[in-house]
Amino acid sequence: MTTTEPNRWTDRRSDAVSARKEAYEQLRRASTWRLLAATKAPAVLAILQATFPAGDRRLPRSELIARVGAHLSLLHDDEGPADGASAADGAASADGAGDEARGGRSAAEYVDGWVREGYLTRRDDPQRTETTFEPSPATIDAIQFIASLEEHRPTTTQSRLQLVIQQFDRLAQETETDRDVRLADLQRRRERIEQEIRELAEGELMLPSVEASVDRLRDILQIAAELSGDFLQYREDLRAVDLHLREQILSPEGSRGEILEQLLAGDDLLGQSTVGRTFTAFFRMLNDPAQTRATQELVDRLLERDFSRSLSRDERERLANVFSDLYEPAQEVLDVKTELYRSLARFVRSQDFRQHRVLLEALQEAQGLALAQKDEVPTRTPFPLELDLSRVQLSSVSQHRLKDPTDPGAPAEAEVHDATSLSVEVLQDLVRTNDIDLVGLTTHVNDVRGRSGQASIGDILREKPAEQGLASVIGLMFLATSHAQAREGSTEIVTWRELDGNDYAARVPSFYFLDDVPVE
């Protein structure tokens, strides 16, 4: 006997499965899934894991390319996809090791490809003149997943179940609102403690087995390792919150006015976000002196236990540094949060958002006009607009002069330029358009002036070389026009080494810093 009536349970189940499939389709586009499904995933994961060992979370571009270049043979294997599936073909382009790998791509090309695919994250480190790179959260997740498969350690252990039960018990006690129930729980806990004291006083000392103790310790280390991997995600989430706030500020609708008022009043909207509150609570606990001291004492006691000898050398090192290894990445997240907050505050207080809003409205208007005309104007219709394109002079390879390594050659004559005067407005425009590190230059000025009482621009460059080349000299000139005393009619020769390795010199007006430059 059959029925045509719809089965509601089956329909709901089918809808849930379809929704889950759509969610998985979205996750399949994520970097973690694409990296694991890539044709050359074993080689890419192995190289990234070897390139960023413990302690090297961030590398400058030159060093990263050198480390990847040492393992290029793994990416240049002649293996092709075993089957012609489209997934494998897509993965080949994702890991950058498909047919192009057999053509001999360079390490720099692989690095750039991994950045585009989301395997590496590019960072502009203010402490370095060179761009730095670090594994993305997707890469960390993929490596941890593969490591869990390699270790074959079950997660359904007795120690993990005890951790779950203990946390449930603690949460239930701390959130209990009935005073009588809470008092009864405390009395039961006191009775258990008193019973343990009596048994211990009578000589009964019950210890868990070595295997159980080692399992519990390894589970704790695994949880601690997962903590360190979350710092990258913290930074990405904070940047996403910052971008969302900027979009709301530029949006013509929504709560733009309220957000502007809060930012102008000094409210830390990044810290008030969900990710901000979570990290702040974690960072506060991590930097609690009493908590840190007590935790380190516990770790030292565990290292002295007999069962800890069953741990490997790597596990013992991880246990000894379980909390100290968290400080540096946590501080980096705090620095990112602080810098994002300051940048967002400057964006609002300097009224820069008004210029961005005008530009956004102009772009939206132009886009609307283009969409309105897309069905009326054919794509091949000539457009009445002429653009002056840049040109490059082409020459034959035969016209290039080869260098004779045995011929030292005549030294090139120095090119002398006519002296020109730079106004404060011109210097300020150069500083703004070239992203000059004024904070670092201010520190150099104060350090040199603090030792000798006064310092000229040449004195500062002799002790603190120009890290940004000519940009550093321009930055010092800008600081001097506002905070130094000029010596009328006097000039000095300053020298610096440019980023291309060549030495340069220039004659500049004499300025002397007599007081510390305030850090802005």
Q: What is the pLDDT of residues 261-293, one digit of tens each?
A: 666 666 677 777 877 788 777 778 777 788 778
Query: Buried b / exposed e across 94-120, counting CB within 10 Å, b at 16+?
Result: bbbbbeebeeebebeebbbbbeebbbb
pLDDT, the chain, mean = 76
pLDDT of residue 170: 76
Looking at residue 417, its amino acid is H
CA angle 73, 74, 76 (to 5 degrees): 60
pLDDT of residue 177: 82
**Please, are residues 508 and 492 in contact by the beta-carbon 8 Å criterion?**
yes
Give bridge partners of residue 496 from the DSSP assignment.
504
Q: Taking residues 373-402, what's their average pLDDT?
A: 73
Highest mean pLDDT among 127-136, 252-261, 459-468: 459-468
Q: pLDDT band at residue 243, thresholds of 50, 70 and 90?
A: confident
Let me know the angle formed at the C-alpha of 441 by 437 and 446, rounded to the nearest 5 degrees.
150
Whether 104 shows a pLDDT value over 60: the answer reads: yes
Instruction: Look at residues 34, 94, 44 and name the one whose alpha carbon lies nearest to residue 74.
Output: 44
More confident call, 427 vs 115: 115
pLDDT recorded at residue 84: 34
Sequence-ordered alpha helix ranges (H) in 58-209: 61-69, 72-75, 86-95, 107-117, 137-151, 158-174, 179-201
Average pLDDT over residues 403-432: 63
Q: pTM for the complete prediction?
A: 0.47
pLDDT at 93: 44
Give the pLDDT score at 430. 67
Cβ contact 74:346 at 8 Å? no
pLDDT higher than threshold 80 for residue 429:
no
Mean pLDDT of 465-481: 84
Q: Tell me which H or E stretch contains 365.
A: helix 352-373
Amino acid at 30: A
Q: In the 8-state DSSP scheme, what is residue 412? A: P
Quick one: what percent of the chain has pLDDT higher than 90?
Answer: 0
492/216 Cα distance (integer angstroms): 69
Angle at alpha carbon of residue 226, lines to 299 and 28, rounded to 5°: 170
Overall average pLDDT of the 76-95 stretch = 43
Beta bridge partners of 511: 486
Most confident of 76-90, 179-193, 198-212, 364-378: 179-193
Q: Looking at the predicted structure, is the pLDDT value of residue 423 above 70?
A: no
Instruction: Please give the torsion angle defined by the CA atoms of residues 374, 378, 380 and 384, in that order, rounded to the nearest 10 degrees.
Output: -70
Per-residue tokens: 351: 């009224």
What does the pLDDT look like over 119-131, one tens digit per residue? 888 877 666 677 8
Residue 100's pLDDT band (boundaries 50, 70, 90)?
very low
| For residue 381, pLDDT beyond 70 | yes
